[in-house]
Each structure stands twice: as C-alpha cells, then as structure tokens.
Amino acid sequence: MNQICGQVKRSMDVIEEIAGKLGVRAERGRRFAELTSLRVGGAIDWVIAPETEAQAAAIVHELDTAGIGWRPLGSGSNVLADDRDHHYVVLNLSDMKGEVHIEGELVSVSAGYSLPRLCIDVARAGLSGIEGLGGIPGTVGGALWMNAGAYGHEIGIVTEKVRVARDGKVAEIPGNSIQWNYRHTSFREGELLLGATLRLKPDDPDHIKARMDEAKSKRLATQPHGARSAGCFFKNPPSGTVGTGKIIDEMGMKGERRGSAIVSPVHANFIVTEGENARAEDALALAEEIRERVRREQGIELEYEVELWRADPSTDYTEGKSGDESEERSSER
C-alpha cells in the first residue's frame, strides 16, 4: 500500500513537472460530469489542456516515457465515462483550436477546433463536402477518431492528411492510409490526432449554406434539442433498412426511465440524463436493458456508438495503456 502511495505520489510530481516544463495547464479535481455532454461520470486524477499541436505531441511523449496512462478527450460528446474515480490523465484537447488555413481546396485545421464552427467557416469560403456535419457537436479530432457522419457526408471521405503525434513531434500521414468505416476508423489506441488537412470542392456559398440549413432543420425536427445526450447511443444494424431508433421506438421504449437516465421521447436511440447528480450507472443500465430487449425480441445485437470509458481500479499511474484495455475499447466502439 505504502509502495503504491509512493508510486502515485512520484507520478503526481512527474505530471506536474511535465506540465510545468511544457508550459501547459494541468488541473486536479475535475469530473467527467463537467467534461462530457451526458453530464455524468466520476473524478479524474489530472486534466492536462495543451493549446498547440507541438505541445500536445511533446506531452504524450513525456507521459509515455514515464509510463503514465492518458486518454484524449475533445468535447466529450461521444463518451460515457463511469461514475468511479479515473486514475489516468485526460488530455483535454478542446483548447487546442489553432486557426483554420484555407488554400484553394485544401483546409488545414487543428484537432481541438469545433466541427460546427469549421462547417460554417468553409461554407463561407465556398467549399463543400462537410455541410451535412454542421449540426454535430464536438471537435475535429473527435470527428476524425470515429469518422463522424450525417446526411450523406463523412469526415473521412474528405480527409487528405492527418497530423499525429510521433516520438514527441508532429508527423503527417496520408488520409488514404486510414480505414474510414461506419463510426469507426483504423486509428489505434494511443494515437493522438493533432489536426487534419481536408480537400473540399468549390461551390456557391449560398447553395452550401442552404444544404447546411436543411440538414440542421431535419436534425431539429427529429432529435432532442438542448437535452444532455451523446447523440445516437447505438449504431444502426449492419444489415436491414430499419434504423436502431425505429426498432427501439417500436418496442414502446420511448420515455423509459432508469433513475436519472431516460430514453428520449423525441428519438429512441438517444439516452438523455436529468438532474444535478445524474449517474452514468443509470444510463448504462438503461442501455443494457435496451440491448437485452432488442436481442430477445428482434434477434439483433446492438453495438454501442457511444464510447464507454471504464475506470479500471487496478490501473495506477505506473501503468501505461495496456493491450487488454485497447482490445476492450475497440470492441465497444
């Protein structure tokens, strides 16, 4: 026990030292409930918030070298973190906004930049290809990680290059070296995405804006607005034409409640949370109940679209990212 306390203390010193050396903000006492759109989830040992791509690349190199586990977080709009204490560093990338550089059809942007903001910027510049994504909350990094998509557009299709952290530096990899699948990519656990260059197509700004507005109104008409959610909780089944929302709706589960979590009465594939002390446990219990009923009544195995972040009680600062964790996580996406 003393030994573990000693290791944790040593790692705390190391984290402070790394953040201080690189001039990056490091905070204790934050909770996932403050950092995710579902507004649930437990305490985080350290949150480090780099502001530049170079800083972020250097930080993860130092953390990896010291054997300290970390996870990247954008706006937290696709993450359900459990209620326990999370003993690792959260790299909060939402301050790493940088600036958008547009050169002809090429658009370079940092991973912390807001995706809805980027859609507006490029629409104004007369560039088309991501206007369907205008209503998706979150950062560019989060969108790249899971190949965000909506209304006929997916970010992976237009990604020419991705900047990633390698050996403490910013490196560039071609977009076509990545597999961009339905809400899943071939990026591996431990890969930090720093930014991207997109190749878009010139078009009339008014036409692009009209398509973006149309996508937004469809979203407003079919999805809960202003509610605490993580978007669609489950992926649509790979085969079949019926979406998951319709399947859950037809089982009469809209409005179903478990404690602080509710199946949205507006869109059955959205789980929303309510109350100041909402719990991840409730959202997870409700999600598992949905999966169980869909399995039993429809013979369909629903796959999570939301990422489940479990606090592993056996993980301490001295462990980096384990292969087991990586496997568990990729099977949950």
| Dist. CA 262–CA 274, nearest whole Å | 8
Least gap, CB of 193 to ligand FAD (angstroms): 3
Tell me whether residue 136 or residue 200 sits nearer to ligand FAD (CB atom). 136
CB of 155 to ligand FAD, least distance (A): 8
Phi/psi at 319 (nearest 5 deg)?
-95, 135
User: Count of CB atoms within 10 A of residue 111's CB?
Assistant: 28
111 Cβ contact partners less than 8 Å away, ≥ 6 residues apart: 53, 56, 74, 93, 96, 139, 140, 141, 144, 163, 193, 194, 195, 196
- CB of 154: closest distance to ligand FAD in angstroms? 8
Pairing, β 70-73 against β 86-92: parallel
CB of 243 to ligand FAD, least distance (A): 12
Q: Report whether 214 contacts 206 (CB < 8 A).
A: no
Can you tell me the distance from the alpha carbon of 281 to that of 285, in angstroms, rounded to the nearest whole number? 6
Q: Which residues are near ligand FAD by CB under 6 A?
A: 37, 71-79, 93, 111, 136-139, 141-143, 145-146, 148-150, 183, 192-193, 229-231, 307
- What is the nearest approach in angstroms of ligand FAD to the Cβ of residue 259? 20
Of 202 and 326, which CB lies nearer to ligand FAD in the complex structure?
326
